[in-house]
Amino acid sequence: MKKRTNPIAGDITTLDGDDPFPGDRQFVVALYRGLEILRCFRPTDGALGNQELAQRSGLPKATVSRLTYTLSKLGYLVYMEESGKYRMGVPVLGLGYACLAGMKIRETAQPFLQELADYGGDGVTTALGGRDDLSMIYIAFARSVGMISLQLNVGSRISLARSGMGRAYLAGVSEQERAMLMEKLRARAGEDRWPKLEDGILRAIEEVRTRGFCMNVGDWHPQVNSVAVPFRPPHGDMPVLAFNCGGPAYNLTPERLEKHLGPRLVEMVGKVAAFGGTYG
């Protein structure tokens, strides 16, 4: 990306290709960049320095330095003097919990998720998730008793392109949104990897169309299988979500997924909708 000359001293430099909505005068690019810095942090991260944040965000280090300084002054980042790095501050957690509290569907879905996880048994997990860029984020989660279980929870991210949940989401959105996302996924994957990913996505879309759920046998992780179902909220202005049920491949065999867990998941999503599966 090339820097543009900025006549305003001290302003954050505008970058070519750094505006996802070029021409939209209401869109505040500086705010977008600040939020992108926060999105760089992952659950497995410790503190991150400006250099790491610049690499992840694609922004110049000088721009990142100004953004992290501002975010730390507001408490959204905490500066660690000994390491010269930043970690997320408590206000970010407050935003997250405010978001979750506004999603009443979580309360509706939780007992059904737990019931299905218990039925699956031996390390099976169930979840409800929504899209964040090219990932799916768990907003509700349940786990069965088992010696082996996926190390996931509310807030965990999984791949939009490779996971069953992500593919179910793609099956549930409009053709226009799907086309936009497919282009972004293709650009990220590269031409060598894209054909295989595209085949898996298109197969999942067809499975959802014909039987209501899609199967993922080892595409997300070689030892993990799953089924997933899109959830279209009754109000058209609400984002599409997706449910999944996954676990160790030795327990969730393709036959069991197809004959038992998939139909049960479809039935469960129907119950959630019938019991008032809405956001607010």
Report pLDDT for 230. Answer: 97
Residue 107 sits in the same domain as residue 205: yes
Q: What is the pLDDT of residues 130-160, one digit of tens each?
A: 998 899 999 999 998 765 556 778 888 899 9
Reported pTM: 0.78
Residue 92 sits in the same domain as residue 226: no
Looking at the 3D structure of the chain, how many domains does it have? Answer: 2
Measured CA to CA, the distance from residue 271 to residue 264 in angstroms comes to: 10
Tell me which residue range forms the domain holding 18.
1-100
Do 272 and 109 form a contact (C-beta atoms < 8 A)?
yes
Q: Give the end of a domain, one of 41, 74, 100.
A: 100
Does pLDDT of 221 surpass 70? yes
Q: Which two tokens stand for residue 200?
A: 């898996």
Residue 216 sits in the same domain as residue 81: no
Q: Let me know if residue 280 belongs to a domain.
A: no
Q: What is the pLDDT of residues 64-101, one digit of tens each?
A: 999 999 999 999 999 999 999 999 998 887 777 677 66
Residue 167 sits in the same domain as residue 249: yes
Residue 48 sits in the same domain as residue 81: yes
Q: Let me know if residue 182 belongs to a domain.
A: yes
Does pLDDT of 2 surpass 50? no
For position 72, which CATH number holds? 1.10.10.10
For 246, phi then psi, to 5°, come to -145, 165
Strand boundaries in 50-122, DSSP class E: 77-80, 85-88
Report pLDDT for 7. Answer: 29
Count of CB atoms situated within 10 Å of the CB of 236: 6
Q: Give the end of a domain, one of 100, 124, 153.
A: 100
Do 241 and 77 form a contact (C-beta atoms < 8 A)?
no
